[in-house]
């Protein structure tokens, strides 16, 4: 967009030339804006710390995209859990088994790269089927021995860039018992899908044998957050407790049985599906979920012009609706209903 400029003709022309030489016709305008922002920062900020933060953030994101881009077509599961879990603990063994089972079904595994549950996730996945997003800390967080040091290990300085990649590059979440960090990652993941900032995904809370960690947590959520109306009871649809590896794998697999992905185009929510839904199911969801649309009905639709332009899953069947962009717990219910068709 030419209206976003430095305001110095000579500099803006140089930015334009560099953007043209560095990118494709599809990305040139975005590169122009990135370069313009960099120059504006240089002209407006005298704070070295501010510039270091932006510089490190951009470098971490660039490298992460480079590592993940060859694997974008493969679904991935992020495993969260305590770095302090012993290798003979129930959660460690459960995480290892879950990771192994998921990779056998074609998924790749992403962990935080450290010890404990993260180590179990990398160990179970096996070489070449896992990623590790390590955070540099003054204590406890060094890459575990099951991480591929060269190919799929990313070291982050900032938690916020690491957490962004956790969400952006994965399709499902498994959360094991853990401390502040695990709860922070879990609550953020739930908040992102609750507010629509992340596309719908299965979020499964892993309850190892002999543990009451998530049942106790769920009692708090129901007794305090739901009861006092800090959240809606339907928001509990965003999460599922699993007491076995088999139940967790089934939940993740079932979530994508028919549902494929979602895209918002010009105020319309477009659900891409792996196969068409029956007339009976379409009629039922229109009756059952009319409370989450702002007008019209849920109906079969072709790919939008934007999807065609960007070549996004053109061959998949679709449902379109004027979703209210608020009731994501109910949207999860609808996705489950479609998956049962």
What would the pLDDT profile of 62-75 be if each residue is shown by its tens digit?
999 999 999 999 99
Percent share of the chain, pLDDT over 70: 98
Residue 190 to residue 307: CA distance in whole angstroms: 27
Percent share of the chain, pLDDT over 90: 89
Residue 140 has pLDDT above 80, yes or no: no
Q: Write down the pLDDT at residue 251.
A: 98
What would the pLDDT profile of 256-268 be if each residue is shown by its tens digit?
999 999 999 988 9
- Quote the mean pLDDT of the chain: 94
Residue 36 to residue 70: CA distance in whole angstroms: 29
Lowest mean pLDDT among 150-159, 215-224, 234-243, 268-277: 150-159
Of the pLDDT bands very low, low, confident and very high (cuts 50, 70, 90), residue 10 is very high
What would the pLDDT profile of 54-64 be if each residue is shown by its tens digit?
999 999 999 99
Which residues, in sequence order, are bridge partners of residue 135? 156
Domain spans, the chain: 1-44, 70-255, 259-339
Residue 132 to residue 147: CA distance in whole angstroms: 6
What would the pLDDT profile of 174-230 be if each residue is shown by its tens digit?
999 999 999 999 999 999 999 999 999 999 999 999 999 999 999 999 999 999 999
CATH of 70-255, one of 3.40.50.300, 3.10.20.30, 3.20.20.450, 3.40.50.450: 3.40.50.450
Q: In a 3-state reduction of DSSP, which class is residue 298?
A: coil
Residue 112 has pLDDT above 80, yes or no: yes
Put simply, whether the predicted model's pTM sits higher than 0.85 gets the answer yes
Residue 1 has pLDDT above 60, yes or no: no
Give Cβ neighbours of residue 10 (< 8 Å, ≥ 6 apart): none
Give residue 183's Cα distance to chain centre: 16
Backbone phi, then psi, for 90, in 5-degree steps?
-65, -40
Q: What value does the mean pLDDT take over residues 1-16?
A: 88
Sign of the torsion angle spanned by Cα atoms 38, 39, 42, 45:
negative
Q: In the chain, which residue ranges form alpha helices assigned H by DSSP?
A: 9-22, 28-44, 48-68, 90-104, 117-125, 159-168, 180-194, 213-220, 245-255, 279-288, 305-309, 328-339
């Amino acid at each position: 967009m030419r209206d976003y400029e430095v305001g110095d003709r000579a500099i803006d022309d140089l930015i334009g030339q560099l953007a043209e030489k560095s990118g494709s016709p599809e990305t040139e305008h975005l590169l122009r804006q990135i370069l313009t922002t960099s120059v504006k920062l240089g002209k407006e900020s005298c704070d070295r710390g501010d510039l270091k933060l932006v510089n490190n953030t951009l470098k971490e994101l660039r490298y992460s995209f480079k590592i993940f881009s060859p694997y974008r077509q493969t679904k991935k599961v992020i495993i969260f859990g305590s770095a302090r879990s012993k290798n003979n603990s129930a959660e460690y063994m459960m995480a290892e088994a879950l990771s192994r089972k998921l990779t056998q079904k074609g998924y790749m595994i992403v962990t935080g790269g450290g010890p404990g549950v993260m180590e179990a996730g990398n160990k179970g996945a096996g070489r070449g089927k896992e990623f590790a997003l390590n955070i540099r800390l003054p204590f406890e967080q060094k890459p575990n021995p099951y991480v591929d040091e060269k190919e799929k290990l990313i070291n982050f300085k900032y938690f916020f860039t690491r957490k962004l990649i956790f969400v952006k590059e994965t399709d499902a979440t498994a959360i094991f018992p853990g401390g502040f960090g695990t709860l922070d990652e879990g609550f953020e993941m739930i908040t992102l899908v609750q507010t629509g900032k992340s596309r719908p995904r299965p979020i499964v809370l892993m309850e190892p044998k002999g543990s009451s960690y998530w049942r106790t947590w769920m009692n708090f959520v129901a007794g305090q957050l739901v009861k006092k109306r800090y959240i809606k009871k339907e928001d509990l649809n965003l999460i599922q407790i699993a007491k076995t590896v088999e139940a967790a794998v089934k939940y993740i697999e079932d979530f994508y049985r028919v549902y494929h992905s979602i895209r918002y185009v010009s105020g319309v929510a477009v659900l891409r599906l792996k196969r068409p839904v029956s007339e009976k199911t379409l009629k039922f969801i229109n009756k059952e979920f009319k409370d989450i649309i702002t007008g019209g009905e849920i109906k079969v639709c072709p790919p939008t012009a934007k999807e065609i332009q960007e070549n996004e899953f053109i061959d998949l069947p679709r449902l379109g609706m004027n979703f209210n962009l608020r009731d994501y717990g109910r949207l999860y219910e609808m996705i489950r209903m479609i998956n049962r068709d």
